[in-house]
């Protein structure tokens, strides 16, 4: 999977830098071209000579070559890369990356890189557990960077705990998995709905719900990262899609969402209905703001909204995959299965509002994936992005 891939290997100043030599070797053995970028302090731990001999390329560390004045372009490097791996990543470099402190070649290259970035932290257990480090790592995650979690074991300090850089083999396997997955939906068209719908009462008021769109956006990002062309029909949310292969269509009401979905669904290979669609809408929204003065308490007559998932389910052609979500508070399994059948879904992802960390607004979710054949798999608490990955894994033909 790494054949011909351009990989920037960023090395920072930690004891685990000795493992970077092995990592470079393994990447090259897997077919990659490796360009090493070192921070000044990394050179205290492993020499540029070792790294350039292993990779067959001069190591880049400074902005300029002192004697010739030749400029090393972090921009060119960033564009050259198919992936950037920072291993080991010290607390210091992680902090600089999280906050854009571009005072060395490695961080400027990181800021210029358009390719996916993998970060393998390595530090003492207390540094690793410090709220500053965890906040910085969370920030990197929120930028879409991949964190290769350190292992637990004996550390350079002779203390035992979490902070050991993952073994080079594990890091290479992560990269291979990433590139394999990045192909898995190549050529596929994926339709995703996300967020709430707003149903107009009058020009300034609406019926809505607490959905933030995080789960649907995570699915759209994950599908795009796997090579799909994604249409994301989104209700009003505060978040933005990042991947260039995602086309966002902003809508407000369930009716608008249905219209956009009906336009996109005939071309879609996979559709994931993640939106929290309002069940009812005011029958006759007022043209003008409903005034409080001199009025009796108004009555809002509601009408049923279209069921988008069920409508698409009725139009589904062989080969198309339709996935729904169920957010239940009671009788979860029975209700989810009933929904799957009624809407003609191939799979339904059940999240229970009773589970801590699951549901509206959180960054994590706990899903149970139930397929049309009745098989189910219960996923543990994980980030919405990881849950999105597992959901897409579950419908890939190999699984």
Residue ranges binding ligand C5P (CB under 6 A): 193, 254, 273-275, 277, 305, 307-309, 324-326, 339
Run of H or E residues at 369: strand 368-371
And the tokens for 52?
């350039």
Helix H segments across the chain?
18-29, 48-55, 74-80, 91-99, 105-112, 125-129, 131-142, 168-184, 214-225, 254-264, 308-315, 332-342, 384-395
Residue closer to ligand C5P, measured from CB, 46 or 273: 273
And the tokens for 11?
């090395």
- CB distance 260 to 251 below 8 Å: yes
What is the C-alpha separation between 321 and 206, in angstroms, rounded?
Answer: 32
Residue 193 bridge partners (DSSP): 233, 273
Q: How far is the CB of 305 from ligand C5P (least distance, A)?
A: 5
Among candidate residues 209, 305, 331, 344, the one labeled active-site is 209
The verdict on whether 209 is a catalytic residue reads yes
Residue closer to ligand C5P, measured from CB, 172 or 309: 309
Residue closer to ligand C5P, measured from CB, 175 or 347: 347
Q: How far is CA 114 from CA 21, 111, 226, 297, in A?
A: 25, 8, 16, 56
Residue closer to ligand C5P, measured from CB, 164 or 214: 214
Bond preceding residue 202 cis, omega within 30 of 0 = no
- CB distance 212 to 360 below 8 Å: yes
Task: Identify the three-state secondary structure at position 184.
Answer: helix
Residue 151 bridge partners (DSSP): 164
Task: Identify the three-state secondary structure at position 372.
Answer: coil
Cα–Cα–Cα angle for 230, 232, 236, nearest 5°? 160
Q: How far is the CB of 16 from ligand C5P (least distance, A)?
A: 45
Q: How far is the CB of 197 from ligand C5P (least distance, A)?
A: 8
Residue closer to ligand C5P, measured from CB, 179 or 325: 325
Residue closer to ligand C5P, measured from CB, 309 or 394: 309
What is the C-alpha separation between 56 and 167, in angstroms, rounded?
Answer: 23
Catalytic residue positions, numbered: 209
């Amino acid at each position: 999977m790494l054949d011909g891939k351009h990989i920037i290997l960023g090395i920072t100043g930690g004891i685990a830098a000795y493992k970077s030599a092995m990592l470079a070797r393994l990447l090259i053995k897997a077919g990659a071209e490796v360009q090493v970028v070192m921070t000044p302090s990394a050179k205290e731990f492993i020499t540029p000579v070792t790294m350039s001999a292993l990779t067959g390329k001069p190591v880049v560390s400074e902005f300029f070559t002192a004697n010739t004045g030749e400029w090393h372009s972090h921009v060119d490097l960033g564009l050259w890369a198919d992936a950037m791996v920072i291993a080991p990543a010290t607390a210091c470099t992680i902090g600089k990356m999280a906050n854009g402190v571009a005072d060395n070649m490695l961080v400027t290259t990181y800021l210029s890189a358009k390719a996916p970035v993998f970060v393998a932290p390595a530090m003492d257990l207390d540094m690793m557990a410090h709220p500053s480090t965890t906040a910085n790592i969370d920030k990197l995650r929120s930028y879409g960077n991949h964190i290769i979690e350190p292992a637990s074991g004996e550390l350079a300090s002779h203390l035992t705990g979490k902070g050991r850089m993952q073994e080079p083999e594990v890091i290479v396997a992560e990269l291979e998995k990433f590139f394999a997955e990045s192909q898995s939906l190549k050529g596929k068209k994926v339709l995703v709905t996300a967020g709430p719908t707003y149903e107009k009462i009058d020009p300034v008021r609406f019926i809505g719900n607490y959905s933030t769109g995080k789960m649907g956006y995570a699915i759209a990002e994950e599908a795009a990262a796997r090579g799909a062309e994604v249409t994301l029909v989104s209700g009003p949310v505060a978040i933005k899609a990042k991947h260039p292969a995602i086309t966002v269509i902003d809508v407000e009401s369930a009716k608008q969402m249905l219209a956009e979905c009906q336009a996109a669904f005939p071309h879609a290979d996979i559709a994931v209905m993640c939106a929290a669609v309002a069940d009812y809408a005011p029958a006759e929204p007022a043209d003008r703001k409903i005034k409080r003065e001199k009025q009796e308490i108004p009555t809002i007559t509601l009408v049923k909204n279209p069921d988008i998932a069920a409508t698409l389910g009725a139009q589904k052609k062989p080969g198309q995959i339709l996935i729904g979500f169920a957010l239940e508070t009671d009788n979860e399994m029975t209700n989810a299965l009933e929904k799957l059948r009624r809407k003609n879904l191939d799979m339904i992802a059940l999240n229970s509002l009773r589970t801590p960390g699951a549901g509206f607004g959180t960054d994590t979710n706990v899903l149970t994936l139930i397929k049309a054949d009745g098989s189910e798999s219960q996923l543990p608490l994980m980030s919405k992005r990881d849950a999105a990955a597992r959901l897409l894994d579950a419908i890939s033909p190999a699984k």
